[in-house]
Homo-oligomer: A and B are copies of this chain.
Amino acid sequence: MDNPLIVRLRRQCHLDIADIDRIEQLCDDVRDVARGMNLVREGERIDRVHLVLSGWAARYKLLPNGSRQITALLLPGDLCDLRCTMLARMDDGIVALTPVRVAYILPDAIARLERMRPPIAHALSWYGLVEQATMRAWIVNMGRRHALERVAHLFSELSTRLMGMSDPPGQPLHFPLTQEEIADALGLTAVHVNRVLNELRRRGLITSRRGGLTVLDLPMLKQMAGFNDNYLHPAMAESIAG
């Protein structure tokens, strides 16, 4: 079984056999979460790090008026709350958008691994920077793009993040998102997302089925969005190999 965290870390630093073994050991506590269930509830106190092994999840916040804003999409290989020990309680929730397999990891175990293997610590810090850059990209997306470009940008980002992770290379990428989830991620309405997807479908850029959609023409989507992928892996050449 390919642990997606290993795939991810390997982009940033060399991992020897022992490293791989150590990381596999981190993930000894694996759980399956059904779609729609919360991995973390808002306001909850948590003392574990989540690693998404398979499936999609979302970090979200609910507003008093009942609306929801998704602040991050969590794909296989993504870690949630790497530094959770520092926080009194989570200020948002995490929900499974598909059936999700997660590993519960003890913060201590990560700290030990980081101390033992500085290159891994380095790769994890790097991961944190990418996370931050992604949030900034989302702010720009919501603040300064119209619905069509906004959707195109999200799809471009997801495609890039998915590349070389879980998906078989070369195949068209599939996103298991409902239109409401897309809306909540982009600050739009499900109704309006529907119309936008309609337009993208009409132009032959995507196809969509109930509860998911497939990208047909990624280059065109990127162009529509003015997508620049350098925030997602700011030149891995720079990283110091271990």
A residues bordering B, Cβ < 8 Å?
59, 61, 63-64, 67-69, 71-72, 83, 86-89, 91-92, 122, 125-126, 128-129, 131-133, 135-136, 138-140, 142-145, 184, 186-187, 226, 230-231, 234-235, 237-239
Instruction: Name the B residues within 8 Å of A68 (CB-CB).
Output: 144
Instruction: Name the B residues within 8 Å of A125 (CB-CB).
Output: 83, 86
Give the docked Cα–Cα distance between A145 and B42 (Å): 20
Q: In the complex where A131-B132, A135-B132 touch, is A140 in contact with B88 (Cβ < 8 A)?
A: no
Identical copies of this chain, number = 2
What are 24 A-to-B residue pairs whose CB atoms are below 8 Å? A61-B136, A63-B140, A63-B226, A67-B144, A69-B143, A69-B144, A71-B140, A72-B136, A83-B125, A87-B129, A88-B234, A88-B235, A88-B238, A89-B234, A89-B235, A91-B230, A91-B234, A131-B132, A132-B135, A135-B136, A139-B139, A142-B187, A143-B184, A144-B187
